[in-house]
Amino acid sequence: MRGIEVKNVSKSFKDTQALRNVSLTFEEGKIYGLLGRNGAGKSTLLNIISNRKYPNEGYVSVDGVPAAENDEALRKMFLINEMNLYPESMRVRDAFKVTKTFYPSFDEEYALKLSEMFELNIKKKIKSLSTGYQSIFRNVLALSVNVPYVFFDEPVLGLDAYHRDLFYRLLIEKYSEEPFTAVISTHLIEEVANVIEEVIIIKKGEILKNQSRDSILENSCTVSGTISQVDAYVSSLPAGAEVIGSDTIGGLKSVYICGDTGSRMPEGLERSAMDLQKLFIQLTSM
């Protein structure tokens, strides 16, 4: 079996249960968005998958083989996050060389080309880079490493709009040339909504949604109208539809709905699409 399987993983730190019995699969050649509030458990999950932290229970397998302490499995994966694995005084160009020794598939020439595109000064020491350029440095590594599973934890933290746009375009270009599995954990949901195919929403250590982006968006909507009309509509909804939130301004109300609302839409009410970020905010606000 190809892909990464996370099976019944739990992890706690001191008095915090970071992950509770998490099971999910990352298939080959797909782009996933891993979405969650600060502290929801995203980074812990990524650290466990890539063997940087150990679960209290459960396991991870890569292409059918248990990943823990398995060098071959670990070299199929690459995680970038705030934990810097390079000595702080190392220069960017030396970090490229070191990466090449661990990952023979690392394309040093491409990394240099990307550095130029992002105006990343390869002579600088890693520790002297700004927040934005730390992110760029990590993204250059991840885009050049050429392994089947790449995990991006907050890849656009501190990046300006032009650099974010460039990153998304390069990721898609790379993926189009040779598909790989990319898992992107980010707070900039609306920007990544067009890049990802699959959405995983994690809340307080548990998986809340694990679905394709399209099916999530098709199965949700906003309905707006006067308070009394909207309330009447909500009370008549079929069992499969769930109201996940509402906003009231003056005498008007909007409700956010997941699931099948049926086709009936009373006159005077307006139904509109929900965007992924709005849906996320509603699902994770409590």
Binding site for its own copies (CB under 8 A): 36-38, 130-133, 157-165, 187-190, 277, 280-281, 284-285
Nearest distance in Å: CB 44, its own copies: 13
| Cβ distance to its own copies smaller for residue 47 or 99 | 47
| Cβ distance to its own copies smaller for residue 99 or 282 | 282
Nearest distance in Å: CB 38, its own copies: 5
Tell me the DSSP string of 40-52. Answer: SSHHHHHHHHTTS
| Cβ distance to its own copies smaller for residue 263 or 285 | 285
- Of the candidates 199, 92, 72, the one whose C-alpha atom is nearest the C-alpha of residue 138 is 92
What is the greatest pairwise CA distance in the chain?
66
Give the C-alpha separation, 123 to 114, whole Å. Answer: 14
Nearest distance in Å: CB 173, its own copies: 12
Q: Quick one: angle between helices 161-177 and 108-117, nearest 10?
A: 150
| Cβ distance to its own copies smaller for residue 25 or 254 | 254
Nearest distance in Å: CB 53, its own copies: 17
Beta strands in the chain (DSSP E): 4-13, 16-26, 31-36, 57-62, 65-66, 77-80, 149-153, 181-185, 198-203, 206-212, 220-226, 242-249, 252-258, 270-273
| Cβ distance to its own copies smaller for residue 30 or 164 | 164
Give the C-alpha separation, 129 to 90, whole Å. Answer: 11
Nearest distance in Å: CB 198, its own copies: 18
